[in-house]
Amino acid sequence: MKFVYPEFLWAFGVLLIPLIIHLFNFRKYKTLYFSSLQFIKVVDQQTRSTQKLKHLLVFIARSLFIICLVIAFAQPFIPVTNNKSKGGKPVLAIYIDNSFSMAMKGTEGELISEAREMARKMISNSNLDTRFMLVTNNMNGIEQRLVTKIEALERLDKIEFSPIIREIGEVIEWEKAAIQNEHETKQKIGTKQFVIFSDFQKSTASFQNLTKDEESYYYPVKVTSQDPSNLTVDSLWFTSPIQKIGQNNELNVRVHNYSSKDIINVEVHLEVDHIKRDVFLDIPANNSTTTVFNYTEQTSGIKEGKVSVNDKQFYIDDEYHFSYSVSKQSSILIINGDNAVNNIATVYSLDNFYTVETIEQTSFTLDALNNKDLVIINGAKEIPSGLSENMIDYVNNGGALALFPGENIDLNSWNNLLLSLKMPTLSSEISEGVKIKNINYDDVFFKEVFEKKPINLNLPAISKSYKVNNTSNSLSMGLLFLQNGNPLYSRTTNGKNVFLYASSLTPNYGSFTTNALFSTILLRTAELSKRKTPISLIIGEDSKFPIYFVSKNEIPIHLKNKEVDFIPRTIKNSGSTSISISGMEAIENLKAGTYSIIDDGKKGAISLNYNRKESNIEVLTENEIHEKLNEKGIKHIKISEISEGQSLTKIDLDKPYEYWRIFLILSLIFILTEIALLKFWKK
């Protein structure tokens, strides 16, 4: 047997009081005068014996009363039989999953409300000496402390939803470390019990980080929604890589049905600028459907929009925010070398969307790159080191570069540039097998260019080209291939926009410029080269949003809307600047929506969405939870489920066997016995 308050046992010193009373209080004598003492002696002996017995019984009853009362206040208990901890105060660590999926509807309100009320019952019914750790997905310093019953009850009502998603194993190990630190620095810890309130979604309920534990007690409590279904806007994208005034936009939207039933006639709503559109979809069970919104841009500038569905269960993924820019023009710079051709400028001059500036290689200055979306080196024999460095910085800052070599090029200067851009190098000229044979139709470069794959396409003739050598450093994809397998036109695959034509455009090297494929290649290169930003990003993920025009003043960039003003982390690399929205700080401070990017003026817009990890609402069964815990070496497990509301659910935690109530009752019995002896035992 152990005591919660062993220091109270010092109160046994009070036993001296009844002992003193017994020794002195009952020795009172009264003188009586009789003519004869013969009969009095007999009566006196009988009375003395009776009184001694009475006094002894009163003394015993009074002493037992005090003993039982002291023991009751010391709160005796027998520890749980399997508990190996020696002494110390018991700890009840309660984890309440406050991710967005806990907003789904249970029998008696939101799942998080049911979890809170069950936790309240547990805390209220716990022993006074129990210490509590109340943890959510926030896992901050406040939640790391052990608190009293009153503090735990006060903090319950302050739990709010969080976009943070935690692995259950990670949370429990964090709790263990905090409890161990408390044990080593402040107070001795006894029984450890871990209660887990969650919906246990398969997509997020991981026990991977959990370590073996044969001493503690685990109580997974599964809260269950009434309707296990969800409808979400999964993703969206534009068919065309560029949006122009007067051009028809095709916005593709994918809606997913996480349900075992088909959903008929789902309304999907689009709002962008002043345009509103609605479509109605039929979505099969556990499947997705993609629809297309068509609309025409009437004005230039930044466009903000969102696509939404009406789902009454899990609402946090019902909207998808996006933003993009519609430009009036795209600016192209052509740097002419010794073997430049006029065909490039001619092709772009046919479309008013492109503004073209042509300069000689010898006249190039750094100012010529200002606000240019695409730079074309046209027919250069040699790439000077200064021009090479400028082109590398330009590409790293988000610009696009198309390289068309001249005749008999200086391989060293060209290859120095190509290696820095992670493109394959060039070597000697070849003239065998140089007819164009294949087009890489599957690459994104040709997506939507052809309505269908041409069967008998008239391909231009190439008389000779430079041999292309792939190095271990090169990251490129061939777009046009010659019969000898040599790529004629390539692009980078590392997120940069660099294009390489492995021949010369002069008539001595072929008639490529006279074919329709030539203009197709140029226009598509320009479309993919337009400086653009992601139409949306996921909060907390390691994504970067490029900022092309940053103020020279030392003014921090703000992300701002009607509700939030946040200073994100900015990354500068080789002259480029980008915004990072990864990390816990972004998750805690940002909400889904569209934000203005501001330093000394508005620089654009960025649209942020929550990740869709919790959209799949499929959950673990009780057997699966038990198996996963067993696999991690957890010995003491008792699983419960709240499926009919928290008011009808009872969860029993293993508790020490307490005896203080028994001793309190015994003390009352002994005091009543003493009173009865004094009142009814007459002399």
Residues 6+ apart with CB under 8 A from 56: none
Q: Which fold has domain 230-327?
A: Immunoglobulin-like (2.60.40)
DSSP 213: E
Cβ density class 136-164: b for 16+ within 10 Å, e for less:
bbbbeeebbebbebeebbebbeebebbbb
DSSP 540: B
Give the span between the Cα atoms of 415 and 494, in whole angstroms: 18
Q: With contact defined as beta carbons under 8 Å apart, do 334 and 378 qualify? A: yes
Cβ density class 456-477: b for 16+ within 10 Å, e for less:
eeebbebeebbebeeeeebbbe
Around 385, how many Cα atoms within 13 Å sit in the side-chain half-sphere? 0
Q: How many helices (H) and strands (E) does the chain have?
A: 12, 36
Regarding the domain with residue range 89-227+617-655, which homologous superfamily does it belong to in the CATH classification? Answer: von Willebrand factor, type A domain (3.40.50.410)
Please report which residue ranges of 421-515 form alpha helices under DSSP H.
Answer: none
CA 9, 15, 17 angle in degrees (round to 5)? 140
- Using CA atoms, how far residue 429 sits from 3, 426, 432, 463, in Å, is 93, 9, 10, 10
pLDDT at 82: 46
CA 371, 373, 376 angle in degrees (round to 5)? 115
Q: Which fold has domain 330-529?
A: Rossmann fold (3.40.50)
Coil/strand/helix, residue 292:
strand
Give the span between the Cα atoms of 231 and 254, in whole angstroms: 11
230-327 matches 89-227+617-655 in CATH topology: no
What are the DSSP E strand ranges found in 259-412? 263-272, 275-283, 287-296, 301-309, 319-326, 330-336, 354-360, 374-380, 400-405
- Which residue, 614, 583, 578, 616, is CA-closest to 597? 578
Q: Which residues of the chain have pLDDT under 70?
A: 1-5, 15, 18-19, 21-49, 77-87, 184, 186, 451-452, 454-456, 549-553, 573-576, 645-660, 682-683
Output the six-digit token pair for 81: 């039989």
CATH tag, 537-609: 2.60.40
Coil/strand/helix, residue 597:
strand
In which residue are the tokens 């200055």 written? 365
Q: With contact defined as beta carbons under 8 Å apart, do 293 and 273 qualify? A: no
Output the six-digit token pair for 113: 């409300």
Computed from CA positions of residues 511, 509, 505, 501, in that sequence, does the dihedral angle turn out positive or negative? positive
> What are the extents of the domains in the chain?
2-79+661-680, 89-227+617-655, 230-327, 330-529, 537-609
Q: With contact defined as beta carbons under 8 Å apart, do 620 and 631 qualify? A: no
pLDDT at 83: 46
- Report pTM: 0.76
